[in-house]
Structure 1
Amino acid sequence: MGFDYYNVLKLNRNATEDDMKKAYKRLAMKWHPDKNPVNKKEAEAKFKLISEAYDVLSDPNKRQIYDLYGEEGLKSFDQAPPPNTNVGASFKFNPRDADDIFSEFFGSGGSDGVGKGYFRNNNHNSYGAEVNRKAAPVESKLLCTLEELYKGTRRKMRISRSVPDDFGKPKTIEEILKIDIKPGWKKGTKITFPEKGNQEPGTIPADLIFVVDEKPHPVFKRDGNDLVVNQKMSLLEALTGKTIELTTLDGRYLTVPVSDIVKPGHEVLISDEGMPVSKEPNKRGNLRIKFDITFPSRLTAEQKSDLKKALSDN
């Protein structure tokens, strides 16, 4: 059984010339190999069949014989002309080049740069010398809280992007992307979704890249894999001691007793209470507590005398 050219072009047998042109334009743009870099072989086969169907049905002589004898009869036609037709006795079927048909229909440059000698460049079997241009990647910030980067989470991002329809005109489609944020990811980490960006006719879609950025935290500041917290302390507390209470990024209650005298620039370091190390899941940075010692604005004579007594060398 031969091919049903009407079915190939999604037409009925009463289709007009205008119907055929519209069908060919839509299908040729959809299945041209330049627009289908992922499934090249399938696209090439469909594109050649679409071109062949249009070549036959758009030619009155070929269409008459095809309607009578089908595809196999058309290609092996060596009979006398069918009655009530105007087909010449010397008719012989010569298939036209798919690339020539496309160029004739859309112009020598194709449509929006699609199809410049695709088949002709490589004996009709595979891609020619033309290589599709890929659109520049599109980057977008992904703002994350310090809690999200500490514990990890899944974010769902709704995106809108522009792609060409079957006629090469831009249309907007929406999609939801899932991003698994790993514990310990740092500012500047990139998550790439290949070919999920905008696409222009004749190009490979752009990659969509999300770049991690950190939202400021009211208590903690990140320094590499360490967490830093600034703690205010009075001069009295610096000399006599204080218990610091903190809520960690994963909601735990942390009590840190400070009994040593706190001097300017002093830090308390608590190991394994910092950020997770993304490449070493069981390892964490440190928690560093820095102190801001508040001095009194004035002292009474009695307070000064008491301090002298308390701090003088005996």
Structure 2
Amino acid sequence: MGRDYYAVLQITRSATDADIKKAYRRLALKYHPNTNSEPGSADKFNQLAEAYDVLSDLRKKATYDKFGEEGLKGGIPPEFGGSGAWTSGYTYHGNADKVFTDFFGGDNPFSDFFPEGGEEAKAGFGGLRGQGVKKQDPPIERDLYLSLEDLFYGCTKKIKISRRVMNEDGHTSNIKDKILNIDVKPGWKQGTKITFPKEGDQGPNNIPADIVFVVKEKQHPRFTREQDDLIYTSHVHLEKALVGCSVDMETLDGRLLNIPINDIIHPKYTKVVPGEGMPLIRNPSLKGNLIIQFEIHFPEKLTSEKKQLLKQALTL
């Protein structure tokens, strides 16, 4: 004949989902081993967990209602297997404490019996409460690649994420898309983190993870960045390095600069142009420096006449 899960929970077959939850809550608290030491209470507690595990799941319940315990656990013939049928056979995992903890989540199920902070609660049920506390999933980090122009001006980035969202019944879920807006501030640096609290997958017994975007700088064709400074490399021939030249370059905001170089350019020489770097995050109206480095191109060969002229010119 098979086990009558409805009788175990002391409800009728017309019971609603709310009735099933109410019955399990009342009886599980009554027969929990921490509150009931009578012979057979542990077995009763386990039967309640199995009954609730089946009747609280729409697919298992539908199969049980039609085919009984034998059909539920043994599997049903393919010709009877609809899209919602439990055709593979159900096996109870046997962990009544897990069912109990998942049901009550982070709530204290014994608050009806003991005052908050009472000695009985501390001594008898502290471990159980610890198991029931919901834990938050670890943060999910994603890279956010931004150009130097994005970080120079600031911008808004729209990121689409897909996450699991619980349905109103509190048991089932589905995947939904969501758009997250990130307001990029001028001067943000690589490694800046933007956190969206609890935007991860939802579940009946977890706190959703925070989603954290970590700023990564895209490679730029003209500049590299060091903190608030921009580094630019200018290529000059040897004669200009010795006699002077000017560097023409376009800034991130589209202006053309002509920077005269009157010093002798040696391999370690740099030219610092104040205020032409990245905006300062604390005060975007102020900027770091532009640092011009130089790569000197030497001639591949010289005629004897040119060598003599150079020797005369460079002789002190």
TM-score tier, shorter chain, comes to: 0.5 to 0.7
Change (3 A) 1:117 1:174: closer
Q: Does 1:285 align with 2:292?
A: no
User: Which structure ranks higher in relative contact order (CA pairs < 8 Å, sequence separation ≥ 6)?
Assistant: 1
Indicate how the Cα distance of structure 1 residues 120 and 170 shifts in structure 2: closer, same or farther if over 3 A, else same: closer
Match of 1:115 among 98, 104, 120: 104
1:142 is aligned to 144
Structure 1 residue 23, shift from structure 2 partner: 5.9
Matched, 1:220 2:243: no
**Matched residue SS, 1:110:** helix
- How far does residue 20 in structure 1 lie from its aligned partner after superposition? 3.8
Match of 1:131 among 126, 130, 133: 133
Deviations 1:31-58 (A, max 9, x none): xxxxxxxxxxxxxxxxxxxx4xxx6xxx
* CA distances 1:230-270 after superposition (whole Å, capped 9, x unpaired): 11110011112222111111222222111222122100001
Report the AA paired with residue 232 of structure 2. V
The residue aligned with 1:163 is: 165
Residues 158-189 of structure 1: per-residue CA shift (max 9 Å, x gap)? 00012333352341111000000111111111
Separation of aligned partners in 1, 2:142 and 2:106: 37
- Please, what TM-score do these two structures have when normalized by structure 1? 0.65
The CA RMSD measured in Å over matched residues stands at 3.1
Residue 105 (str. 1) matches residue 108 (str. 2)? no
Matching residue's letter, 1:266: Y
Residue 3 (structure 1) aligns with: none
| Structure 1 residues 275 and 111: CA distance shift in structure 2, 3 A | farther
Query: How has the CA–CA distance of structure 1 residues 301 and 155 changed in structure 2, closer, same or farther, with 3 Å as cutoff?
Result: same
Aligned pair 1:189/2:192, yes or no? yes
Query: Separation in 2 of the partners of 1:116 and 1:303?
Result: 87
Residues 193/18 of structure 1: CA separation in 2 closer, same or farther (3 Å cut): farther
CA contact 2:106–2:134 (8 Å) conserved in 1: no
| SS of residue matched to 1:147 | helix
> Alpha carbons of 1:117 and 1:269: their partners in 2 closer, same or farther (altered >3 Å)?
closer
In the superposition, relative to structure 1, how do residues 156 and 126 fare at CA in structure 2: closer, same or farther (>3 Å)? farther
Number of the residue aligned with 2:310: 307
Distance 1:194 1:98, change over 3 A: farther
Name the CA distance, whole Å, in 1 between partners of 2:222 and 2:303.
35
What TM-score does the superposition give when structure 2 sets the normalisation length?
0.65
Question: C-alpha displacement at 1:143, in angstroms?
Answer: 0.5
Contact 2:106–2:133 under 8 Å retained in 1: no
8 Å Cα contact 2:143-2:215 kept in structure 1: yes
Q: Is the 8 A contact 1:233 1:291 kept in 2?
A: yes
> For the residues of structure 1 that align with 2:135 and 2:100, how far apart are their CA atoms?
15
* CA–CA distance in structure 1, aligned partners of residues 188 and 243 of structure 2: 39
Aligned equivalents of 1:305 and 1:117: distance in 2? 89
User: Cα offset for 1:292?
Assistant: 0.8
Q: Distance in 2 between matches of 1:161 and 1:116?
A: 21
* Aligned mates of 1:133, 1:100 — CA distance in 2: 23
Q: Distance in 1 between matches of 2:315 and 2:28?
A: 100
User: Which residues of structure 2 form unaligned runs of 5+?
Assistant: 1-11, 31-47, 54-95, 122-128
Q: 1:228 to 1:116 in 2, by over 3 A?
A: closer
Q: 1:283 to 1:234 in 2, by over 3 A?
A: same
Number of residue pairs the alignment of both structures matches: 232
Counterpart of 1:258 in structure 2 is 261
Seen in structure 2, the aligned counterparts of structure 1 residues 116 and 136 have a Cα distance that, compared at 3 Å, is closer
Q: Distance in 2 between matches of 1:222 and 1:152?
A: 16
Aligned sequence identity (%): 37
- Which 5+ residue runs of structure 1 have no aligned equivalent? 1-16, 29-50, 56-95
